[in-house]
Structure 1
């Protein structure tokens, strides 16, 4: 039996690399990178990261979590109908066409899948390419799909907390008073590969009690399925790490609540419907609550009377090598107090070979940094500042 499971597991793993979502997610990352670079050039006349930056986040962040998720699914014997996998892939593609990556949250994708299966079960509706999978549906409510939604919501919360704040993109926007202020935008796509058990095949259950969350005896087949999770957040009232990690913790707690409710649905199917409904409503409430909370805060990245605030750091630039941080304020350059961008670069030119800065960090502490400047390095130190709105168009986000 162990040899059977090993063989079918390797076959299921191989099917991951022919799954359309795997290649479609790569295409989406390249589109997102292109649009980000275009916006950054419009705001600053330079990009922060290259167009492949989104692609670098696609798979690494989700590999370990996908492994843990697979162990949970296999250990619990969570069997997902093949129709659900087809429907979730189709919904993923449809929602991605809006280019609003936040809609690729499991709450919307798996939630939409759950209600679609509930609607189609037992109805005489012919759908090309899906009909065979739909004919295999044998019940109106699938608690296993609701449990999968909860587990993927937990996954989303963990990814946001651990990865969502890394290398955010600086942007310019206008305040309600017409002033130019700074913001940071995080847009992520994470591919989470996980083993899913689907009905069919010739694999016997490894134990009498297995699978747990299904009715009756059935043979199953393990498939490695790529789940595409999207996230988007704009931060302008505080540092990106603080705001995004807080949002991630909220999503994590929502996922834990939905998972607990969905497990109860194994015995009381109405709880599965309640869990999926709560996931859809809860995820939307969290999104708008975060926006409202952000709008109530004063703008963090704004012009200061003394010094200039760092909105972004260009990789491999002198500022990057001097370990300057987003949100810090440069108050003095080469012994000269500065108040704006023009004075910053005038002070830099006083000593073309060496740069000494006095910086007010995000904790309000003064620190001094200095470094030799070499020929060929970024002539403007490599910091992105809040620019004069008359210089070029402003992206409102």
Structure 2
């Protein structure tokens, strides 16, 4: 039995390469990285993380989450309609064309795929036979989609809290009063590959080579499906790490509620519809709430009269090695008080071999950091400030 499962898992994993979403997400992550670097160079003439950062974040944690979700779905014998898988893939491709990364959340792609599957079955759409896995009146498989949606929503919250808060991108813009202010932006996409049981032998009917196996009196196929998890957040009123982690925690709680609700659908199938609807509406409410709060809040990263606000830190530079943090303020450089960029660089040049900074941290406490400077070190220490004299054309926000 163990050998049979290993063979089926291997064959199911190979089907990942047949799914266009697998290739789409690599392209999309690369596009996000290139777009981010262009924006950072426009604002600061230098980029923070390199263009491959989004690609490096695409899979690692998603693989672990996908493994956990696969064990839950297969272990519980939850079968997902093939129609739903195909609709979710098609919606992922279509929504990616909008350029709005947040629409790639599984709550939208899988949620709307659930409703399309329901309508297709009820209205008897002319779906090719090899895509049909739902028997008319077979409502027991629809709660499985609701459970999967809850799991993926929990996964989205974990990915946002753990990875979304890393490498947020600094931005410069003009406030409504025409002042230069700073903000942070997160545009990220992850892949969560999940092994799913597909009910019936529809695939084998058209593709004789497609493996099927039996569990009790039921026949299933096993495939590895890549789900996209997209996330966007604009942060201007607080520290980016805290803001992103708070959003991630709220989405995780929403996912847990959807998951608990979907379990009841096995006794009352109509609850699956309520669970999916609640997931979509809940995710939209969270996004709207966050957007309204940010639009009505004051800018955290604004010009200070007594210090320089740190908007960003370039990795592998003296600033990162001195453990300087976004949101901290530099009050003195080599014993000289500074309040603008020119003063900062002039004070820095007073001692080209050593740098000592007096820093006011995010808790309002003073600390001192120092480091020897070497040939080849970033001449500006690798700090991106909230004020920048470079001319650029962002519109007021």
Question: In the TM superposition, what are the counterparts of 1:269-280 in structure 2 within 5 Å?
Answer: 269-280=269-280
Q: Which runs of 4+ in 1 moved over 4 A?
A: none
* In structure 2, distance between residues paired with 1:108 and 1:352: 54
Deviation at 1:396, TM superposition (A): 6.2
- SS of the residue corresponding to residue 121 of structure 1 reads helix
Name the Cα RMSD after superposition.
Answer: 1.7
The answer for the alignment partner of 1:132 in structure 2 is 130
Determine the structure 2 residue equivalent to 1:161. 161
Alpha-carbon deviation of 1:136? Answer: 4.6
Report how far residue 18 of structure 1 moved. Answer: 3.7
In the alignment, which residue of structure 2 is the partner of 1:177? 177
- Give 3-state SS (helix, strand or coil) of 2:69's partner: helix
Equivalent positions of 1:296-307 (< 5 A) are: 296-307=296-307
Q: CA deviation at 1:394?
A: 2.8
**Residue 212 of structure 1: aligned partner:** none
Q: Which residue does the alignment assign to 2:57?
A: 57
Alpha-carbon deviations, 1:272-319, whole Å to 9, x = none? Answer: 111111111110000010112223332111111111011001111111
Asked whether 1:190 is paired with 2:190, we answer: yes
Shift of 1:354: 1.3
Distance 1:288 1:80, change over 3 A: same
Partner of 1:211: none
How many residue pairs get aligned? The number is 385
- Match of 1:335? 335
Structure 1 CA distance for aligned equivalents of residues 150 and 133 of structure 2: 26
Is the Cα contact below 8 Å between 1:43 and 1:394 reproduced in 2? no
1:17 alignment partner, SS class: helix
2:66 matches 1:94: no
SS in 1 for 2:291: helix
Contact residue 303 and residue 387 of structure 2 kept, 8 A: no
Q: For structure 1, which segment, 9-18 or 100-109, has the greater mean C-alpha deviation from structure 2 after superposition? A: 9-18
Structure 2 unaligned regions, length at least 5: 202-210
SS in 2 for 1:222: strand
Q: 1:132: how far off?
A: 3.2
Q: Does 1:204 align with 2:204?
A: no
Provide structure 1 residue ranges, at least 5 long, that are not aligned to the other structure. Answer: 209-216
The residue number in structure 1 matching 2:230 is 230
Please list the CA deviations of residues 202-238 of structure 1 after superposition, one character each: whole Å capped at 9, or x if unmatched: 4121xx5xxxxxxxx4211221111111111111111
1:72 to 1:388, Cα distance in 2 relative to 1, 3 A: same
Distance 1:395 1:354, change over 3 A: farther
Q: What is the TM-score when the length of structure 2 is the normalising length?
A: 0.93
Q: Cα deviation per residue 1:242-289 (whole Å; 9 max; x = unaligned)?
A: 111111111111111111111211221211111111111110000010
2:374 pairs with 1:364: no
Structure 1 length-normalised TM: 0.93
Instruction: Give the aligned partner of residue 75 of structure 1.
Output: 75
Measure the CA separation in 2 of the matches of 1:26 and 1:358.
43
CA shift, 1:135, in A, is 6.8
Structure 1 314/194 Cα, relative in aligned 2: closer, same or farther at 3 Å?
Answer: same
> Does residue 268 of structure 2 align to residue 268 of structure 1?
yes
Partner of 2:188, secondary structure, is strand
